[in-house]
A and B are shown apart, each in its own frame.
Chain A
């Protein structure tokens, strides 16, 4: 197997998040297809011979510039999610990547859940006929809010991206409810009304008349919940119904001490995403997701934000 050299750039994310340190670096180090050869910051030169792939977690104001430089230096890129804070910036990254033949992967790793992949294959093969409705729940228990940006930007794109992966039907309009609902601000003095959205419901209208309703949020920690307390998709089609529990496959464990818990069976979604990155780079085939998926996700976020402000249905802008 060809081993790809990886340069890790930056350790920034939404709020307190450090996905480079906590997710990508350990996953690259553990993956047989990659070797971490260096660490850099946004200002460092990127045309190093010891990097095939760069993993970008630079501050948001540097995202477009650093990803563009990496692509110009001929590097394949993994970009933390969200790829950028606006659809316009994502579109600039898409422009920079277009025609380069390089892989530029926004880290929408939840679409690599085995249940999502099996669902996607079944739907694409026509097993439910033509899909006309999707219901999705993406609730995470604990971990701390990502101030000052909320879960509309942080979590909702995972679910909308998974729906996009499963159905390939773009979103045309959004009605959103929700807001700051759980009182876990960074200080005791911060009122929950001042915080970012931590629970949202998105009513999406897709092309071909499909509708979907997506719940995304971060709740207080609950013993035994183990991260994603609820992660599932229900797809109704003209000829069948598909129920995908993305918290499976898992083993349920009860013990004489401690709380009931589920034990995930199999590689993590980040591991699976890195395998996709590796395969795309090594074979030269296009990766199954790219900057266009980040643009689509951010356009939904932006329409949802407008809907939360207006209380009305908002079109997704092209």
Chain B
């Protein structure tokens, strides 16, 4: 922390859409202070800085890391740049919250975890779904023992096409790592946290519904088996029609009980002239809880965020899913580690 200051100075690296969510969360926690923006695009960095009342900005990461008052960074750049930029953050002795996935390959993810361990700084990964109320409710019910030992988990996050056009890096397989790494890790991490067991293998099937020319799969069915015999079905979609569809579905069958959160579980169905829609809260509350947990970790108050080793496991599962889709067979975690 800055001398004489009790707040954590946070540098935001990459000033795209997701950075807005983190910055909004940061402004809601008195322990955090926005130290500035760095982005390869001067226009993007400058605009973000102006929108936040004229905080510092630059296009040079080395310069930003040397600013006084920078204690920690939030890394919101394309997935394939995470490991290299994280290494520079670790070398500069800053704490890091990196957007998911931690990296697009297992060796890169592992190297990042090791770099922060060696630097004595904390590494957290923005598996934001862990901080949403629904996810915490499910985790709480399982942890309370009410359901017994979980044997089957179904988690579906379904929507239509929300991405921009062919220019976006998120549908570039090289840059995003594929959909199993880009969004799939959210589900893979969440179900593993819920089940609390060691994943053994992943069988994944992917479809390209929006366009056959896509490099990534806009629909994923990933079936994970666990050491204790549980199965998790993770379904992630940007392929459903109508494109306005937004549905989440959770099932947990345990040895002693069944939990369901149905697709309309958020409770508000809006029927208007264009059809029936689900009206739900946005992700703001989840990002605020995630920011709070990260600041706990950075300040050493508690360790409730998603640590690097857990995110490394999620990367391994995502890589196994991508490989399973390539090979058309289940892929064990051992094969990708």
Which residues of A are interface residues toward B (Cβ below 8 A)?
Answer: 128-129, 132-133, 135, 137, 139, 141, 175, 177-179, 181-183, 199, 201, 203, 205, 209, 211, 213, 215, 217, 219-220, 222, 225, 229-230, 234, 236-241, 243, 311-313
Contact = CB atoms under 8 A, between A and B. Distances in A.
B274 to A, nearest CB: 14
A199 B253 contact: yes
Contact of B229 (A179, A183, A234, A311): A179
A311 B332 CA distance: 11
Contacts of A217: 152, 253
A201 B231 contact: yes
B152 A175 contact: no
A175 B207 contact: no
A83 to B, nearest CB: 28
B152 A201 contact: yes
A312 B329 contact: yes
A289 B255 CA distance: 36
B209 A313 contact: no
Contacts of B156: 135, 234
Interface stretch (B137-145, B171-179, B235-243): B235-243
Given A211-B207, A222-B257, A230-B258, A129 B241 contact: yes
Contact of B255 (A132, A181, A229): A181
Contact of A241 (B221, B240, B258): B240
B219 interface: yes
Given A175-B330, A311-B330, A199 B255 contact: no
Contacts of B203: 175, 177, 203, 313
Given A137-B154, A236-B240, A243-B263, A219 B253 contact: yes
Contact of B231 (A139, A177, A209, A219): A177
B154 to A, nearest CB: 7
B307 interface: no
Interface residues of B, number: 37
A133 B258 contact: no
A225 B258 CA distance: 9
Nearest to A202: B223
Contacts of A175: 203, 223, 330
B258 A237 contact: no
B151 A229 contact: no
B328 A230 contact: no
B294 to A, nearest CB: 34
20 contacts: A133-B207, A139-B253, A177-B231, A179-B229, A181-B229, A203-B205, A203-B221, A213-B221, A215-B154, A217-B152, A219-B253, A234-B156, A236-B241, A237-B241, A240-B242, A241-B241, A241-B242, A243-B263, A311-B201, A313-B329
A315 B152 CA distance: 24
- Interface of chain B, main secondary structure: strand
A312 B241 contact: no
Nearest to B328: A313
Interface in B185-217: 201, 203, 205, 207, 209
Given A182-B255, A199-B152, A220-B256, 19 more contacts: A129-B241, A132-B209, A133-B207, A133-B219, A179-B229, A203-B203, A203-B221, A203-B223, A211-B207, A215-B154, A215-B251, A217-B253, A222-B257, A238-B209, A241-B158, A241-B247, A311-B330, A312-B329, A313-B328
A211 B205 contact: yes
Contact of A135 (B207, B235, B245, B330): B235
A230 B223 contact: no
B89 to A, nearest CB: 40
Contacts of A209: 207
A175 B249 CA distance: 22
B154 A236 contact: no
A229 B201 CA distance: 28
Contacts of B152: 199, 201, 215, 217
Interface string B140-181: 000000000001101010100000000000000000000000
Given A132-B209, A135-B235, A312-B329, A181 B151 contact: yes
Interface in B245-293: 245, 247, 249, 251, 253, 255-258, 260, 263
Contacts of A128: 241
Given A135-B156, A139-B253, A241-B240, A215 B233 contact: yes
Nearest to A245: B262
Contacts of A243: 247, 263
Interface string B41-71: 0000000000000000000000000000000
